[in-house]
Amino acid sequence: AMRDREAYQLAYEEKKDLTGGRRLEEVQPFLQVDEWIEEVEAEDAEGVRRLLEENYTTAPGRRLRTLFLRKELQLLYRAKNGNILDDKALQDIQAIEEGFRTLPGVRNLCYTRITSESKRFLCDPGISLVAMAFPTQSSSSQGRAFLEFTWDGMGRDLVPPAAVLAYMKTAAEYGDSSRTSRRYFPKTWTYPDVGDFQAESAMPDAARTKFSYHLTLGQNGDPVSQVNANIGKTKEEWNKLITTEMLPYFHKVQSEQVEFYYASTDIDSIEINSTLFNDLLMAIGSIAFVILYLRIHTGGWVVSISSFLIIFISVPLAYIMTPAAKATIASFLSVFLITGIGCDVVFVFTDFWEQGHKLPMESRVMWMIVHGGESCLATSMTTALSFFANLASALQPLREFGMFMGLCVMCAFFLVLLMIPPLLVAIERRKEMVKLRVVDISSGQGVAAYEEKKKKKKDGVMNALLFHLMNGIARCPCMVVLTTFVFFITAAVGVVVTAKLSTGVPDIFPPSHNQVANKAVLDLFSTEANLQYPAPSSGLICNADTVNGTDTGNCQLHWCEAVSDGLGSTTTTSTGLTSQMSCWRSPTLKLDGSTKISIGYSTEGCWDVNIYARVAMEQVSNAAFNRTLVLALEDELGPAGYTHLPPSVSSLRPLIVEKWEDGSVEAVKFWQARTFTATAPFRGQVDVRNTTEDLCELHVLCFKEEGYQCGISGWKRLGSAAYPLARRLSPVFAPFSRQLQGELVTQTVPTPVDVTVIWGIRSARSTPLVGPPSEFWSYDPNFVPQNPWAQRAIRNMCSGLTKNLKVFRAKCWISLFETYLNQQNKRFPSRTFDGDVIGWYYSNTVEAQAHLWFQDRKVIACKLQFLVNVGIYVPSSQGLLYMKEWDSFVEGKNAVASMTANRAWHTASIWVRSEAEVAIIGSTIDTIIIATCSGWAGVFLFTGDLWLAVIVTCVVIVVITGLAFYISCIMAWSIGPIEVISLVVFVGYSVTYALHIAHNYNQMRDSDKDLLEAEAKVRKRKMARAKAQAARKRAAAAAAGADEDLEDLQAAVQLDLPEQELRLEDITFTPAQLREARTRVAVLHVGGATLSSALSTAGSSAFLLLCTLTIFVKLGGVVVAVTVLSILGAIVTLPAALMLVGPAPDAWYKQKVRRLLQMLMGGKAQDQEPLLDSDLGSPSPKDPSELY
């Protein structure tokens, strides 16, 4: 998947248009999520006459278009009380958006850079709930309306949420796509029925506002260089606006009612880059700490600064030597790792330099290089070998990082080996010159005092600390080993119980950061298609009655004041239906031309009365409304008859009934009956036709009896108080809806995946172990689109899409090409493909440039794109299962395709991520095992002792298990790529400290002078403690007046023995004493350097904990944790194990190997004749000076 994706991206970058010039990168609208160029009608066609190339004007039906760069921004809100339509929440949202839209740069961008009036509404007010909740209200001059709402979000009065939702719901039902609930509210929430808006439990808890900026770049006839220059300039201005105005404003936003988030790919990139730069400043603190600690340990600024520079040089040197295709984020970790490993080498060299202070200069240098170099070579090669074990990983980036770190370790060692000795010699010679000129007059000893002071430097605080630590461990090594074993079992069980695999892409910011917190809110919403037509900018609010007209085409809502209480007191029957209806009538109006004259409530002088009736109720049917209205008219007028009965009922925009006293409202569905006529004579009239009688009209409003009813001045009840509704039929109005046909699905994810199917391009056939392949991609000579069967195969790929593929939009250029051929009265497939496709290219340049590769005016490669309803953050396991669906689909199409087009393949970004996550987690155990075995092999290679290598490997396993326990249990992190890299990489790092101790332990012999001196010191202290204990017993017995028993007599004898000088040559060892002595001296030799290395590594990595990016914080915590565990394992656990079961200088298995080798070589097995490297030559010298 990685090879295919890289081949596609590189081929797309190098793709050329028909003229051989580079295509516009942003013309392709789906390559990037929220950044593309689209074509719209040019506003000034007369000013745009430059063409892309020759013959462009001959293309039939060509229209000039304007190129735009679209930038999008989403503002997300989540109500803290669970109701985003709460008045206070809406007021806070309005304040936030009004402040944002009035920012100088944002306003200038919207009204200066956006030249299309049809697109300006997308940035002011944007697709925003606030626009409907806070419209600007003005009086209307139209008779039937009394208010006009301008949906700009700049009003001072909040429209009741029930009215807002009623308007948005009905507008969406009437086909206004800008008012659908998914654009503003979570995808799982839909508009409730009108009349149910008072139930707060049904209210949404989140809302979204979307701003789109269509920034003009030029026309598609402009030169490519000019458009590219405009693209760069526009991006720069946009990024500057984000940095200088948007982000500072967003960071200052505070709200007591809502949680505020923002989302934009550009903002995400800028925040990442800015945060990364700030985090990198923490490296200054790390550098300062390392240099300071080097100064403390080495005692000189020159050595410390020079050592750091020498160590740091190993990073670029190793990078040059590593054949890596690109650097990864893990390369940043190498700086901290190599700091600790390099400092370890420096500390060992400088410690051996100090230990040989009594030697002549040349001998001292040789002593340091031989002993320090041998010890550091062993640890460096073993550590490098463990890093090289990552070459077994399934991921090339991890293989390259393992090789890179291994080379870093070896480069650091050789640089220190080559540069530190001459540097120390130069500094020492300068000290000698200064020493000769400095004499301590007060002491009178001069140089002698200086030498004595220097000699005491060997027994510093570090050595004293380590000496006491070894004595403490020697008293109870079993307890240390047992405690380590219990820790190992606990950690292993904890890891098994609590470890869980991470799903999706790891967050690089902490949970409280906007980029992480907004994901949970953003996932609530779906991604809606871009609006093709402007949203309504204004709407009329009409009276409920029909006195001033019946035309309701521009009425968005009907409004009236309530005449009675009872909001929420509606009573219903057992079936849930409204039980009664009451109607109100207007005064009778006599028509005199275009003038209406009120004649009161009588029908005197009226021959026929036109009835204009409306009803406010959840649902109504023709039969029920007709029966009830006729009953009311019979009671009120008593007409002789009716014409045009039964009246048909049609839906209107909702009616908002407002209670003026407290502003509460009730939204109800509103219906209008077709006009019908009540004929004379009416009750009280004589049935004589009089030609002088006039035509009259009567207006009626009916309501459910139990709810709010409109109180219109001058109106009265029609008939009696109320009329029962015996039955109700299905509503006559069906909500507007539209469903996608075929196998396409509906888009619901906010960030859909783009699956691309490609012909004519071949990716690299294999991935090398490290480094780039010989070729990343090439054209496929077997693809021949001129063949009619190849064209059929491409078209066939766009058909038969199943729901398992989850495609919601297919971008098939071949279908457009087929349509073009039909318009030209030609058949598909084309036998003159080259000429026909060029003609289509000129008629549909954007699609052709995005999907076709040309060479010598011939198509040599092409692609199809499918937008699928799968998010880019889908878990890797689901991503792989979904990839298999596309594997089956494409393979099935290839199986029936012609040989000229049967090598299609598909690619998507989630294929790469899913394969990478599964591979890196799946190969973790294998890589850890290989790295651990490599560490064991390295220890065995340099110590020649199988058992010692096993002991060190066990310590490394405990350290790695402890690190896994820290990750999964203590920090409760899911096991993802970062955690896996940490576990794999630090196998090599954790072996370093333990190997130092083991290597020096292996070199110790019972005749070594350092070992004898340390043992003498220990035995003297034991003797002193025994005498002190005997003295305390004797004093206690004397104070008690008791007789001395045998034990007291022995203590008295011990107390009276004179102190004698313990000669080194008289010291003898039991096997246990020898193991203890060898362990103690090994720790004293290199323990100080090892501990200093651990402190410098942990100290420098601690600055990572202050970073913002999660990856740095995690890596910093992991480095500190593994350093602490490694140093504890090296100077606590390993010494205890060596004291208990450490190998003898000439262990039995070494003797067995010698005998076996000698037998194979035809010699005699002689135990006294050593064969291994450690036993060749004379015993170790008792003093460094004896080496020379």
89 pLDDT above the threshold of 90: yes
Instruction: Give the whole-angstrom CA distance, residue 105 versus residue 1185.
Output: 78
Q: How many CA atoms lie within 13 A of 952 on its CB side?
A: 37
**pLDDT tens per residue, range 1003-1062:** 888 777 778 887 788 888 877 777 777 777 777 777 776 655 555 555 555 545 455 556
Count CB-CB contacts under 10 A for residue 1135: 28
Average pLDDT, the chain: 78
Residue 27, exposed/middle/buried by CB under 10 A (0-12, 13-18, 19+)? Answer: buried
**pLDDT tens per residue, range 644-681:** 776 778 888 899 888 877 778 888 888 888 888 988 88
pLDDT category of residue 486 using cuts at 50, 70 and 90: very high
Count CB-CB contacts under 10 A for residue 599: 15
CA 597-600-602 angle, 5° bins: 110
- Which range has the worst mean pLDDT, 18-22, 420-424, 488-492, 1141-1145? 18-22
766 pLDDT above the threshold of 80: no
CA dihedral 656, 660, 661, 666 (to 10 degrees): -10
Instruction: Give the whole-angstrom CA distance, residue 683 versus residue 884.
Output: 81
220 pLDDT above the threshold of 90: no
pLDDT category of residue 252 using cuts at 50, 70 and 90: very high
516 pLDDT above the threshold of 70: yes
Contact 1101, 336 (CB under 8 A): yes
Residue 900 region, left (φ>0) first, then alpha (ψ -120 to 50), else beta? alpha
Contact 33, 751 (CB under 8 A): yes
Query: Can you give the pLDDT at residue 31?
Result: 26
Alpha helices in 801-863 (DSSP H): 813-823, 833-843, 845-851
Query: Can you give the pLDDT at residue 210?
Result: 92
CB within 8 A of 441, min separation 6: which ones? Answer: none
Q: Could you tell me which residues are beta bridge partners of residue 261?
A: 76
Looking at residue 403, its amino acid is M
Sign of CA dihedral 754, 760, 761, 764: positive
Query: Can you give the pLDDT at residue 877?
Result: 82
Most confident of 248-257, 721-730, 1067-1076: 248-257
pLDDT category of residue 418 using cuts at 50, 70 and 90: very high
* Tally: H helices and E strands in the chain: 35, 25
Percent above pLDDT 90 for the chain: 17
**pLDDT tens per residue, range 599-622:** 888 888 888 899 999 888 877 777
pLDDT category of residue 808 using cuts at 50, 70 and 90: confident
Our measurement of the distance from residue 1151's CA atom to the centroid of its chain's CA atoms, rounded to an integer in Å, reads 59
The token duo for 328 is 């990864």
**pLDDT tens per residue, range 911-932:** 888 887 777 666 777 777 877 8
- Residue of higher predicted confidence among 627 and 1062: 627
Q: Are strands 694-704 and 606-616 parallel, antiparallel or unpaired?
A: parallel
The token duo for 667 is 């939204």
Query: Can you give the pLDDT at residue 717?
Result: 87
Query: Can you give the pLDDT at residue 22?
Result: 42
CB within 8 A of 1038, min separation 6: which ones? Answer: none
- Which range has the worst mean pLDDT, 468-472, 498-502, 609-613, 1177-1181? 1177-1181
pLDDT category of residue 741 using cuts at 50, 70 and 90: very low
CA dihedral 499, 501, 507, 513 (to 10 degrees): -50
- Which range has the worst mean pLDDT, 326-340, 784-798, 1039-1053? 1039-1053
Three-state DSSP at 665 gives strand
Query: Can you give the pLDDT at residue 1051?
Result: 52
Query: Can you give the pLDDT at residue 793?
Result: 92
**pLDDT tens per residue, range 42-86:** 333 332 333 233 333 333 333 445 677 888 899 999 999 888 998
Our measurement of the distance from residue 540's CA atom to the centroid of its chain's CA atoms, rounded to an integer in Å, reads 45
CA distances from 444 to 438, 447, 457 (A): 12, 9, 21
Query: Can you give the pLDDT at residue 103?
Result: 93
- The whole-number average pLDDT for the span 112-137 is 85
- The whole-number average pLDDT for the span 752-769 is 83
300 pLDDT above the threshold of 60: yes
CB within 8 A of 14, min separation 6: which ones? Answer: none
Q: Tokens 């626009």 — which residue?
A: 131
Most confident of 170-179, 450-459, 794-803, 841-850: 794-803
CA distances from 648 to 478, 633, 673, 700 (A): 97, 17, 6, 15
Percent above pLDDT 70 for the chain: 80
Three-state DSSP at 759 gives strand
Instruction: Give the whole-angstrom CA distance, residue 1113 versus residue 511.
Output: 13
Three-state DSSP at 751 gives coil
Query: Can you give the pLDDT at residue 40?
Result: 38
CA distances from 601 to 118, 128, 905 (A): 51, 47, 80
Helix (H) or strand (E) holding 1015: helix 1009-1040
Instruction: Give the whole-angstrom CA distance, residue 1043 versus residue 1023.
Output: 25
Q: Are strands 905-907 and 852-855 parallel, antiparallel or unpaired?
A: unpaired
467, 282, 277: which is closest to 1099 by C-alpha?
A: 282
Q: N- to C-terminal Cα distance for the chain?
A: 63
